[in-house]
Structure 1
Amino acid sequence: MRVEAFLRKRAAIAPSSTALIAGSERLSFADLDQLSERMAGTLSLQGVKSGDRVVLFMDSVAEMAIAIFAGLKAGAVVVPVNPGVRAEGLAHVLRHCLPKALVYDARHIKLCDEATVAASHKPLSIIARSGTLAPHDAVAFEACLETKAPLPAGQKNDRDLAFLIYTSGSSGMPKGVMMSHGNVDAASAMIASYLGNDDHDVVLSALPLSFTYGLYQLLVAIRSGATLVLEKNFAYPHAILEKACDEGVTGFPLVPTMAAMLATLKNLSHERLPPLRYMTNAAAHLPPAHIEALRALFPAARLYSMYGLTECARATFLAPEELERRPTSVGKALPGTEALVVDENGNEAAPNIPGELIIRGPHVMQGYWDDPVETARVLRSGPDGRGKFLHTGDLFKRDTEGFLYFIGRRDEVVKVRGEKVSPRQVDAVLSACPGVHEAVAFTTPDPIAGNRLDALVVPASPELTEQVLARFCKQRLPDPMVPKSFIFRTELPKTPNGKISRRLAAMEATRIV
């Protein structure tokens, strides 16, 4: 099924049901369908053809959702880019995929101008909320929604590309992940299935729509007939919880930083908390203290721990009933997919032996845009010699019952005094220490030890000291994995997607030294 069919089908089944709530705006499925249809017509009139790229550089607002479905209806490849990136980051995307159109909010006019100059590529500009600020050669977003133009006829199928989603670039230059309509159809169906999403759900998302985890909140909600409540960020959790209560929110996707913020909230009235049916967590596993805090706030909610990456959206999930026994596991492969741990020779690793996670299924990407070498490196055969697996580059182990445990990125594992160390394992121990709100371990080059291990820590208690942390770690970790220093901070450095950044932590520590 093509992705725009999700919306068309729901608009036919329940046209007046609320599809989207963003700030003061409320759009029904019919509204979203009609507005995106009109914008798709405008894109076609402006020369956007099937296969052309349309870059969206916007916050998580109603216009972003409209533009996503408009691009798909026009037959274009939608390229969502996080509006938190700087001009050079946007320039890389423009230079790399050469979009026909760039849709953005008026507050980004200066940045987008800088990016197009740096990229030496100037696509059609469509600007939302521009007022009198729009350049003379730009099209106002609002005008796109007033035009009624037929969409050109043409052969379209689910093998066409739907999205080009750029990776964070944490392990090199950002790569464009090619997801076909069939890939997205398969992934969204699996997610909706294990979460049990239907038209009774109201899902609140404070995740960027440019982030795979956030984008699928929209796609799954539209597919299942649920209402999606969009928030631009999670800066004011009290206010967001109030809104979630008022809207009767039943689903709440989280990342660990959001869970950490919720764990510190005080004086919350249970009468003013939403009636959550489920919560999801991705990016990293939650410390036990945060799990306990979430359970205390939302005792009826089922908590799903998941692992995913841009190249396949989701790979595994842990059923909530297993969380008590396996709090650090990310579960097993999604239904209809395979997830194996393989050794350095490409053979399936024995239980509890670390290896690389590889994934096979209909939701795995088509490859990287204009990068056949990197595509061939990560999409290759597995132990059975048949088909292609996605080689994730992530280190995992599986227990005797087949449950998977994330160890760390292969390129994050370094040697400290001759011993292999995964900073993520150190993160987990630090986060379990009483009095720790958040923590991240990182390494920097050292002429004697090879690498030096340190940690940034956000304390939750004034009693927390470096001595307490060192003692806690020494009791639970081998000596090379005990950080040499613990640097206290009020917050940890994060990427535009809200993920804690190990690279930025190392850069910050270097400046301190």
Structure 2
Amino acid sequence: MPRTLSRLTAENIPAADPKPLDHLAERGEAGAPAIVLREGVLTHQDLRSRVGAMASWLASQGWPHGARVASWAAKGAATCLLPLACARAGLVHVPINPLLKRAQAAHILADCNASALIATGSRLKSLNDGDVPADCRSWDEAQFLAELDAHTASLGPSTHDPDELAAILYTSGSTGLPKGVILSHANMWLGAVSVAHYLELAADDVTLAVLPLSFDYGQNQLLSTWYAGGSIVPLDYLFARDVVKACAKQGVTTLAAVPPLWLQLAELDWPTDAVRTLRRLTNSGGALTADLVTGLQTMASEADIVPMYGLTEAFRSTYLPPRMVASHPTSMGKAIPYAEVLVITDDGELAAPGKEGELVHCGPLVAQGYWQDDARTAERFKPAPAASSYGGTAVWSGDRVRRDADGLLYFVGRRDAMIKSAGNRISPAEVEQAAISTGLVAEAIALGVPDTRLGEAVHLVASHSPDGLAESDAEAALTKALAKLLPNFMQPTTIHWREQLPTNVNGKLDRAAIVADVLARQSGGAAS
């Protein structure tokens, strides 16, 4: 059968007709590469065989339908194939970010009541007595793969109901203990179909998977690429330069990252062989600035830049078509296929163009809630607004946005992060964007600090621009520049300089850690 290289597009996307998630293993041409591992290349036929054997082995262990199988390891054969193999075996995959520590992993294992844990030996040894549920069986990753090699039986494509639970993805827990978002086969299948089409993936695409597979954005790299029949190159990198080297070595066409990593990558020299095959650079987990867009365009001038916005509870909400990035660099874009994105005012009505409201996500990509947490589920998952064409349950994001006359969305800030100073509601994002636009800082976080006179005073935490001034000169220059960009009530009363802003395990700026650090220093009277 000739290999099709035709592009998938948002215009030729099929009707929302989800299949069991494991059917993604059947999409690619048999002899074409599906995954490039350190130990060798697996073709799509190998993918089918490995998923079938792994599913058969899992099914032979005697766990009940819907039992949770956790993985806690770096990217490799086990972590890449378990999402499909668990789905085929009627089990629920729970990927744990390998950057998490013992206590966080123990919380996830207990919270989901895992029946199995597959992890690297060193991670298993880090666990204490009582960290693993009493009836949970553990396998060293190498032992697990060795048992699979000796397993000769295989399971073919399943007939599971697409509404069955397929995975639990735990959020990073930056505002408390991680909470598990429960996803069905349909959620994940349609997410793969949607992304494959609006990114226009094809069977000759090679995706470099640098993001954690426990992150919905990271896991979708696998699923959307395999839906298109393409190839995945998993990479656990130590330095940004490792990403550049992998792009050159593997002929990468698709690279996804979050803003802190893009900042590092844009500062590097990219040789011709590292950018010659790049077709698209995709971003989520935070907004791209106009300067960073320019830096990425300079870095890979022939590649499309695709900004995206999403939340694990609804997989993804919007994307900005590459042709619109230059003219609308700060826009979140428009709804992705299969998503309905509404802007709802505080009185429950559809917001008029230019008016601020809460972003509400409706449609078949909406998750089923939080694992065994009815209270938090009720806070976020509520009946869809009357204006929804889908109805049912919607995700009320807590993000404040506005839609312009052309239908493009713009982020304003989070409802629970708004700074209330001297009677004014201030969006942290607006202060942050203004600071970054000066060119004097590389990254910035704005927050409200309790103040007896103002209620909250605006504080700005910033890292120096790579070619910035000395700290004292930079602060004076930044204060002067912000005076021209922001009204008086939005001006930071204090600027805290950091060598580098901390990130969470998914590579995003860790806003909660930054806020906690500033508040602790303030209460302790420490200099910052």
Taking structure 2 as the reference length, what is the TM-score of the superposition? 0.89
In structure 2, the partner of 1:104 is 119
- Alignment partner of 1:283 is 2:285: yes
Q: For structure 1, list consecutive stretches of 5 or more residues without a partner in the other structure.
A: 130-138
Between the two proteins, the alignment pairs up a number of residues equal to 497
**How many Å separate the matches in 1 of 2:27 and 2:90?**
18
Check 1:194–1:242 CA distance in 2 against 1; reply closer, same or farther (3 A cut): same
Deviation for aligned residue 1:51: 0.8
Q: Verify the 8 A CA contact 1:36 1:145 in the aligned structure 2.
A: no
Q: Verify the 8 A CA contact 2:360 2:394 in the aligned structure 1.
A: yes
Check 1:293–1:342 CA distance in 2 against 1; reply closer, same or farther (3 A cut): same
3-state SS of 2:458 partner: strand
In structure 2, the partner of 1:415 is 420
**How many Å separate the matches in 1 of 2:207 and 2:407?**
31
Q: For structure 2, list consecutive stretches of 5 or more residues without a partner in the other structure.
A: 1-18
Q: Percent identity?
A: 31
Q: Verify the 8 A CA contact 1:244 1:274 in the aligned structure 2.
A: no
Q: Verify the 8 A CA contact 1:37 1:70 in the aligned structure 2.
A: yes
Deviation for aligned residue 1:40: 2.1
In structure 2, the partner of 1:188 is 192
3-state SS of 1:186 partner: helix
3-state SS of 2:503 partner: coil
Deviation for aligned residue 1:153: 11
In structure 2, the partner of 1:5 is 23
Deviation for aligned residue 1:119: 6.0
Structure 1 residues 287-314: Cα deviation after superposition (integer angstroms, max 9, x where no partner) = 1111111111211111111111101211
In structure 1, the partner of 2:252 is 249
**How many Å separate the matches in 1 of 2:242 and 2:173?**
33
In structure 2, the partner of 1:57 is 72
Q: Verify the 8 A CA contact 2:170 2:214 in the aligned structure 1.
A: no
Deviation for aligned residue 1:402: 1.2
Deviation for aligned residue 1:227: 0.8
Deviation for aligned residue 1:222: 1.1
Deviation for aligned residue 1:161: 0.9
In structure 1, the partner of 2:434 is 429
Taking structure 1 as the reference length, what is the TM-score of the superposition? 0.91
Q: Verify the 8 A CA contact 2:22 2:157 in the aligned structure 1.
A: no
Counterparts of 1:158-177 in structure 2, within 5 Å, are 158-177=162-181
Check 1:379–1:59 CA distance in 2 against 1; reply closer, same or farther (3 A cut): farther
Letter in 2 for 1:54: V
Check 1:192–1:120 CA distance in 2 against 1; reply closer, same or farther (3 A cut): closer
Q: Aligned match of 1:95 in 105, 110, 113? A: 110
Structure 1 residues 475-509: Cα deviation after superposition (integer angstroms, max 9, x where no partner) = 11122322222222221111011110111112333
**How many Å separate the matches in 2 of 1:503 and 1:433?**
24
In structure 2, the partner of 1:81 is 96
In structure 2, the partner of 1:463 is 469
Check 1:152–1:193 CA distance in 2 against 1; reply closer, same or farther (3 A cut): closer
Deviation for aligned residue 1:379: 2.8
**How many Å separate the matches in 1 of 2:294 and 2:188?**
34
- Alignment partner of 1:355 is 2:357: yes
3-state SS of 2:420 partner: strand
Q: Verify the 8 A CA contact 2:315 2:365 in the aligned structure 1.
A: yes
In structure 1, the partner of 2:404 is 399
3-state SS of 1:455 partner: strand
Deviation for aligned residue 1:218: 0.4
- Alignment partner of 1:295 is 2:313: no
Q: Verify the 8 A CA contact 2:114 2:133 in the aligned structure 1.
A: no
Q: Aligned match of 1:446 in 411, 433, 451? A: 451
3-state SS of 2:461 partner: strand
**How many Å separate the matches in 2 of 1:448 and 1:144?**
66
The structure, 1 or 2, with the larger RCO (C-alpha pairs under 8 Å, 6+ apart) is 2
- Alignment partner of 1:27 is 2:36: no
**How many Å separate the matches in 1 of 2:286 and 2:58?**
39
- Alignment partner of 1:126 is 2:144: no
**How many Å separate the matches in 2 of 1:9 and 1:269?**
34
**How many Å separate the matches in 2 of 1:122 and 1:58?**
21
Letter in 2 for 1:204: L
In structure 2, the partner of 1:503 is 512
Check 1:393–1:477 CA distance in 2 against 1; reply closer, same or farther (3 A cut): same
**How many Å separate the matches in 2 of 1:444 and 1:506?**
9
Letter in 2 for 1:463: L
In structure 2, the partner of 1:134 is none
Q: Verify the 8 A CA contact 1:493 1:500 in the aligned structure 2.
A: yes
In structure 1, the partner of 2:493 is 484
In structure 1, the partner of 2:218 is 214
**How many Å separate the matches in 2 of 1:248 and 1:152?**
32
Letter in 1 for 2:485: R
Check 1:153–1:37 CA distance in 2 against 1; reply closer, same or farther (3 A cut): closer
